[in-house]
Amino acid sequence: MRTRPHLAVLLLALAGAAAAADLSREQVVQATQAADAPDFSGKDLSDLDLSGADLRRAKLRGANLFASKLVSADLRGVDLSGANLNGAWLMGTDFTGAALREASLLSVVVLGGAVKKMPVFRNADLRGAKIIADLPGADLSGADLRQARIGVNIRNQGMGQMRTDLTNANLAGANLEDADLNRTLMPFANLRNSNLRGANLFRVKLAGADLTGADVTGADFTEADLSGTVLLGVKGLAQAKGLERAENLEKAVR
């Protein structure tokens, strides 16, 4: 049986993971209970089981959370800028309002794919973040994803087979200006009133997605699938690129 690309990359990364974290789960939990703002910035917390932990007062800027278990953990409003969350277990993790600028979320684990198990990124700051993950139905409403790197890395064939799945995801009001979304799966996604100015939507699957009121000025729709895509009240269509080469544009709702 062939190994899925996501799993293959994760296994390779695991092979090079650090032997031990700087702190234990008990030390992390005790610190969050004892200090006003425990500082774990730059710490190696890889492979720790922090499931269910309340980390709202913690500082995790630049922390290594590789393969850590953050199942149902509370990270609302936490500064995770530049953090390594590759391979982290994020079922039910709450990142509402968290700062994840330039963070890396490659091959994050969300077992079962159920919407109720998806991590929540509502109003999170994901500017410049690198995301390649299966997140169908995830809540990214109001998130700041400017210049986020969500698309396939075609320069690396091993990584090039991976793509982010945002099927049915809630991206209403999200800021995706200049984001790289090439080849991302976004059928039936809610993109109402989102900002897609200058976004790279090359070969993006937007079949059935709702872009009502979105701003697509300067966005590149080359070879994007727009079958059944709702484009009512969309701003900047005349300034968008590649629409003449988009697929099924005639089937979009306008």
| pLDDT tens for the chain, residues 1 to 254 | 334 445 444 444 444 444 568 999 999 999 998 878 899 999 999 999 999 999 999 999 999 999 999 999 999 999 999 999 999 999 999 999 999 999 999 999 997 655 568 999 999 999 999 999 999 999 999 999 999 999 987 665 454 468 999 999 999 999 999 999 999 999 999 999 999 999 999 999 999 999 999 999 999 999 999 999 999 999 999 999 999 999 999 999 99
The CA distance from 62 to 50, in Å, is 17
Q: Note the Cα 200 to chain centre separation in Å.
A: 16
The CA distance from 189 to 6, in Å, is 22
* Structure-block tokens of residue 113: 């794919």
- The pTM (predicted TM-score) of the whole model is 0.90
Nearest to 218 by CA among 171, 167, 183, 179: 179
Q: Pick left, alpha or beta for residue 17 (phi over 0 → left; psi -120 to 50 → alpha; otherwise beta).
A: beta
What pLDDT sits at residue 12? 43
Q: Residue 162: what residue type?
A: M
* Structure-block tokens of residue 72: 């149902």
